[in-house]
Amino acid sequence: MPFRENISLGACTSFGIHSIARYFSAFSTVDDLQELLMSVEQLSSADSRLKTLILGGGSNLLLCGDFNGFVLKNEIAGIIEVHEDNEFVYVKAGAGENWHRFVQYCISRDWAGAENLSLIPGNVGASPMQNIGAYGVELEDIFWGLEAWHIKEQKLVTFTKTDCAFGYRESVFKRKFRDQFVILNVTFQLRKKPRFNTQYGAIEQELALMGVKELSIKAIADAVIRIRSSKLPDPAVTGNAGSFFKNPSIQAEQFAALKKSYPNIVGYPNSDGTIKLAAGWLIENTGPDSTTSWKGFRRGDAGCHSRQALVLVNYGNASGQEVFHLSEEILQSVKSTFGVELEREVNVVGCEL
């Protein structure tokens, strides 16, 4: 598989930010990947400064400049039913499959469990890395296993749910094994008989507005799509990576103290006794000065979306560095106002303060 040189990555990420990859290629099979990694090893032996980036759907990535190295785009496709029992069907999907299309594929076959995760941008391969979640469901709830290629040892490794050590928007692939593996495929455990989850957010209200009389996984998916479309900008129109920050958790004592000063602060109890705060509320209730909220704030073409403060956007020609600096200002502002440290959910590459 040959590399192309000096390729723009603007169309490869949902932020749509201009960035040039020194070397770029795509792979659709394990053999292709092995061939590319051999080429990477040969070329980088002459220049140790060259880095390697495995790129999926590019929906959770902020690039802050040109990438001096190798960008390998994962395009492994395919969806197959590998097994079923009385209660579940087990479905394997290639890492390069679009996540939303995969969810729609499952719904069309009445395989339940993924419907609340409709319209999340990105590809299947990123779903366990991030442990994506929305509307009361996380990826780990339907995860069965995955296969990944160990880059250094050049071998196939199978991961179970336990191996992945899932947490809130976390997995071993984000920290312990960061940049060590290429996820090839993911197998999901989906229910033949659905267990509807409509308690989170505005799903029940949206179903009522839709006039749904008989609940189904398609109705829930349609409700989630309507809600997300009304609140979040379409990356095809306005560059963004969805939620830029995680919802932080704090001790109950700290939440009680904040509640006295900010009665409207939004928080939800975690199973461990801590309180998960709504990062969007924190961002919306502080700003670059005492009279301005970050929500709807814009500087040049970098901004904070007017309908969802968690979403940083590129209105056209913002640089990755400009978006990153805006995120840093928001982090400092929230910490100064509430004493709470936010954490970026988006994977940041090449950004400097």
Catalytic positions, written as ranges? 169, 243, 345
Contacts of 48 (CB under 8 A, 6+ apart): none
Residue 14 identity (one-letter amino acid) = S
CA 254 to each of CA 265, 274, 277, 278: distance values in angstroms, whole numbers, following the listed order: 12, 9, 11, 15
Q: How far apart are CA 218 and CA 266, in angstroms?
A: 30
What is the CA angle 263-265-271, rounded to 5?
120
- Look up residue 126 and give its two tokens: 């990123």
Contact 165, 171 (CB under 8 A): yes
CA 111, chain centre distance (Å): 23
Sheet of 249-250, strand order: 249-250, 275-277, 267-269
CA neighbor of 55 nearest in space, from 10, 115, 107: 10
Contacts of 261 (CB under 8 A, 6+ apart): none
Residue reference for tokens 């995955």: 146
Contacts of 183 (CB under 8 A, 6+ apart): 74, 95, 125, 126, 128, 129, 146, 147, 148, 173
Burial classification of residue 209, based on how many CB atoms lie within 10 Å of its CB (0-12 exposed, 13-18 middle, 19 or more buried): exposed
Contact 1, 31 (CB under 8 A): no
Contact 139, 183 (CB under 8 A): no
Q: How far apart are CA 19 and CA 24, in angstroms?
A: 12
